[in-house]
Structure 1
């Protein structure tokens, strides 16, 4: 079958996580985990599901951007897309008008005309592209009857490389180098796949120490996590130094000296402030400081990395890194010791593949950002492929896990002994329960009607 795409719909789906401070950090104090949820219909009845992640307000803007991109998708067949996936990716990211820095969208339904920051390959339009392409990849994996990670693992290296747009990154990674990396990873690939199927991919938890949680809740969650086998914990910091010292001391006492601790400032500080603040927390032996300053400040991250190296503290970032070009520069500048890809911030699987390959070339471990709503479901596929098909290493590698909202998915993540177990259902694990979509659709869903009444 050709699997011709006959329609594309998008819905604004929001979860009121701010009510209990889930997801709260120094910069995002009241997030409502949300998605622009995309469904692709085909002439043979097969559907593809995808989404892009937001924090509530503004999801309606991403919905408008998805609707603008939809015209480039509907009418094409799946075979037409995947046979020239690089070309299709560039079509979505290089529209001569939409890639400009800002566009006036006529969003009368939601916004009554509003100025929206767009591309090229960043901002709202890139989030929209990610949501649409996530649905395309889900459709492809379903058509092949495989989970996405297995679809990637089984691909020929040249086919994988053909999905990547190398424009702007050939000074860091060429097509030939990418093929060579993937060819070298063929050795031992089946053994690594078997290892993942048996033991899973190591994870760390962020669920214990959101900034808005009380000490009592923090202690209880740490106790429960330790009993469940967790050994790697991340703490939100950045609002108040004395409070950070107290909370980090509490967490370190709870988890003991041998377990791993990471800290995350969510872009709170200037460069000098970051160095000073993290130095004050060095006694608690954090493995990394995450997003210490503006996610766009490549040289600032490099300066922080250099200053904290003698303390044995690395720098991690990437969840708000716009595109492969920025990741290229972070790697070239030795500004990161841990690369954090995101399944919705970048332009879907295609662009994440480019970053995985660059990270491998620069010998920087990938530790994905997850959490949110559905991010764990998606990024598990990417990190499984990274280990099996690219890096062949678990050294200093782990994937974030947040224990929220998985019950709304038809194929939720499976965690066993603090490890992601490989998904078995065909697709990209994007499909949400229809009842959850309807109940949480904004603003018409029952959850939001009750909240406003």
Structure 2
């Protein structure tokens, strides 16, 4: 109770920034649905009375970032003047208060813009907690007693699938061998796959060159964007297969472009290229549609991966229950931050579905590595069939960027959630008054 009564641990400020990188100029991040994304984020900084800061963010694609920023500002009153240790010791209760504010919840609840704002604030709180403990977030989670970790989760709406007691038991199952897996992680890292080779806006020659480059970097799993034009998909799948060989893994990603029957027909026609999964084949909200696609593709040994735009733990519960996903893709900047993501990992463990996180956008790789590393050490106890997406963009904008070695994420060593942006990045890309945007008249169109 001493820390909870210490005025120096009071949160005295919450600031939010709209920061955008003009990635649309090179076609980076482009897919069938999002043809011209500017990788962006709402960047939240919490400051304690003693001067300690915590940083968090949620990922966006340019226009609309200002709307998420407004939602963060609307929640500020729920955070300011709170003692951070009082929050951490009652984190599940605080999380529910943040997501269930009696008026704000009407424009959610627990979905869309308001939930993206929640994620930014919650991610900043976890960064702050880990910094105060002097640990990276993955280590903070690994070191927690199961009862403490489970206390951070709101089990409302999911207790029909998993209870706090079951969650605690799952975390205790492999606790005796945690040190062995932690040592393996520190030595060998965690497997990554790359999407950098396959953006929709890339030329055939660029795809070939990138496949060659990433093979030399020891990658064995490659993802390609599909869905705009079937003949183009065939050509590009063939290019990637010929470049990486049949001994390596190919995944394809439609980013929600198809209707259910269209998805089934299209993917079956691409089955000759042996994709491991089809990602987001239809609307991210269509649970029964994903289940139908999963059933239709099962004879072809093609799984369905989804989750990067899943709204909340309740939808994840239904995806997992119904057999609608064979690969669960949590996203570190969506749903309600770490607290809610932990519940998805626990449900996936109970229902025996592999978690292969989505990453690649601004800060997503930096954050999600912590979560998957915790899962390996403390929950799933295996890397088999699991991997983390990797995209080689914007890492140089962070104080503590990801470290990739032999196509593996190496465990972060610095305290926090790896979310602190360099001040130079903020100065250059803050929208609309950062130096890049001023110099380019606030547009992402090439300047002559």
- TM-score w.r.t. structure 2 length? 0.97
> 2:427 aligns to what?
438
Q: 2:45 aligns with which of 22, 25, 39?
A: 39
Q: CA deviation at 1:99?
A: 0.5
| Deviations 1:369-404, CA, capped at 9 Å, x for gaps | 000111000000000001111100112100000000
The 1-side partners of 2:113 and 2:391 are apart by 25
The 2-side partners of 1:191 and 1:176 are apart by 25
Q: How does 1:43-54 map to 2 (within 5 A)?
A: 43-54=49-60
| Deviations 1:333-375, CA, capped at 9 Å, x for gaps | 1100000000111111000000000000000000000001110
Q: How does 1:174-193 map to 2 (within 5 A)?
A: 174-193=163-182
> 1:98 aligns to what?
104
The answer to whether the aligner puts 1:163 opposite 2:152 as a matched pair is yes
The 1-side partners of 2:440 and 2:95 are apart by 39
The answer to whether the aligner puts 1:255 opposite 2:261 as a matched pair is no
The 2-side partners of 1:158 and 1:445 are apart by 45
> 1:213 aligns to what?
202
The answer to whether the aligner puts 1:62 opposite 2:68 as a matched pair is yes
> 1:388 aligns to what?
377
Show structure 1 runs of 5+ residues with no match: 101-117
The answer to whether the aligner puts 1:146 opposite 2:132 as a matched pair is no
> 1:198 aligns to what?
187
The answer to whether the aligner puts 1:358 opposite 2:347 as a matched pair is yes
> 1:345 aligns to what?
334
| Deviations 1:294-316, CA, capped at 9 Å, x for gaps | 00000000000000000000000
The 2-side partners of 1:122 and 1:334 are apart by 22
- TM-score w.r.t. structure 1 length? 0.96
The answer to whether the aligner puts 1:89 opposite 2:92 as a matched pair is no
Q: CA deviation at 1:262?
A: 0.2
The 1-side partners of 2:135 and 2:76 are apart by 25
Q: CA deviation at 1:185?
A: 2.3
Q: CA deviation at 1:451?
A: 1.8
The 2-side partners of 1:422 and 1:368 are apart by 16
After TM superposition, the runs of 4+ consecutive aligned structure 1 residues lying more than 2 A away are none
> 1:327 aligns to what?
316
